[in-house]
Structures are given as structure tokens and as C-alpha cells.
Amino acid sequence: MRDTPRSQETAGETDAGHPQRRFGRAFAHITGASGSGSPHRSDGRPPQTPRGVRHTGPYGRPGTPPPVPGRPFSLVSAFSLASLAVLFALVTRQVVAGGPLRAADERLGGALAGRGPRPLTELLADLGSLPVALPVLVAAIGYAVWRGERVRAWAAAGAMAAVPALVVPLKLWTDRPGPFTDATGYYPSGHTATAMVAYGGAALLLAPYAGRRRTLPAAAVLTVATGAGLVLRGYHWPLDVIGSVLLCAMFPLVAGVVAALVRRVRRPRETARPGD
């Protein structure tokens, strides 16, 4: 007759017989169990690294141990900036070298010029003039300064000042003739650049108060309307407008990349404090 294994629950005989699976091990990873890795300990003592003193991630996000990588937005901005710069360089080369894209552009511009009601197309083209677009930006800058957003206001003003500083030399270098005229200096379109920076800058300044879903689409519509009016009135070729859009679209991305770099430089200085 075979001996019956002794019970593992008998006091003083826990070492006898084969090891038995204990239910206590099944709960090793339940929150609050000892050795589970949870910040709550079963003996009631505080964890070795309390949650309140853990290092935070970038921009105050809790629970991220150092070192912390930067926001992926900066990488996306850098990639978008590089893409826009490449596209702008390709379009500019076609315009200067007289490539097939320029020939197609002039055929399309010639077919579109003169279409649409003249009073309407003239009004749309005037949206990019300084007397119309600049007061909109100035009003938005004044409101932003009144609300204490001086840094963003100065950034918008600097972007507007950069328009002639960039567009005028490009016009002189490309020396492109305009539609139905022998005059040159039509690439890129200054009216389109003025409209995009003025309305776009005003939209970004007012976005925290009116919402991006309202301000940014309005700025995009005004910019597109300006470019359409310039082409339909025969003031610019389509590539003149596209080149200005590509150029000015880089302005906020450059500002975003610069701001991200500044944050990266300042963050180690702020964290490296005596006694930390």
C-alpha cells in the first residue's frame, strides 16, 4: 500500500513532500502586492521613489524618467521645412532656367487671364496690397500686445518685415517677365506673400482667443482668393503665386524649429540647479 503524501498544511512539516504551488505567488503582480513593482507597498511604507518627486517629462508631463527626448513636433517641423525648401528650390530653378514647368505655367496663365468678372477679380487681387492686408495684421498685433502676448506679436511683426527682405532680392535675381508685359521681377508674387503673412500672422495671434478652426481657415481662404485674383486678372503667372506660398509657408516652421532649439538649450540649465 502506497504511502499517502503528507499534507503541506501540517504545522512543522512544510519541507516534506514535493513543492506545491502557492496561491500567494499568483498575486505577485497585483497592484499593492510586495515585489510587484507597484508604487504601493504591502507593508505600508512609502515607495523608494515617491510619485511626487519623480522627474517629469518635457513640458511638465509626469512619470517620464530622464533622459527625455524632445517633442516629435520639432522633428515633423524640420522635415516639413526641408520639404518646402526643396519644392521652392525646384520651382525657382524651373522659372529661372525656363524648364518645361515654366512653359506649362505660362500656357495655363494665358488661358486663365481675363476670366471672371473684372470687378470681383480686381477686388480679390487687392486683398494682397499693403493698404488692405497690413492694417489687419497691425490690429491683431495690437490686440496680442494688449493681452500680454508680446513675444508672439514681435514674431508676427518680424515675419512681415522679412517679406520685402526676401521677396525683392528674389524678384531681381529671377527677373521673370509678367503676363502681357515686358516688365520683369514678377517671381515670386509680393501680393501673395503679403496676404499670406499678414492674414496668417493675424490668424495665429488671434487663434488662442477665437480658435484655430475659425482663424486659420479664414486666413487660408483670403490667401487663396488673393492668388486667384492675381492670376485671373493677368497680374501674375500661377507659379509666381505658388512660389510665394512655398516661401511664406516656411516662416512659422522656422519659428517653431528655433523655439524648439531654444527650449532644448534652456531645459538643462533649468534642471541643473544646486542641491537638486
Question: So what's the pLDDT on residue 46?
Answer: 52
Amino acid at 39: P
DSSP summary character for residue 145:
H
Query: Cell numbers at residue 65, please?
Result: 524618467
Contacts of 54 (CB under 8 A, 6+ apart): 62, 63, 65
Alpha-carbon gap, residue 210 to 204, rounded angstroms = 10
What count of other Cβ atoms lies within 10 Å of the Cβ of residue 227?
Answer: 26
Q: Name the residue among 202, 195, 271, 200 with its Cα closest to residue 229.
A: 195
Q: At 10, phi and psi to the nearest 5?
A: -70, 130
Longest CA span, the chain: 117
Question: So what's the pLDDT on residue 271?
Answer: 58
Question: So what's the pLDDT on residue 255?
Answer: 76
Question: So what's the pLDDT on residue 20?
Answer: 52
Q: Where are the domains of the chain?
A: 72-264
10-residue mean pLDDT series, the chain (276 residues): 46 47 46 47 52 46 42 71 95 94 95 94 96 97 94 92 95 94 94 97 95 94 97 96 96 76 67 53
Question: So what's the pLDDT on residue 272?
Answer: 54
Give pTM, 2 decimals: 0.70
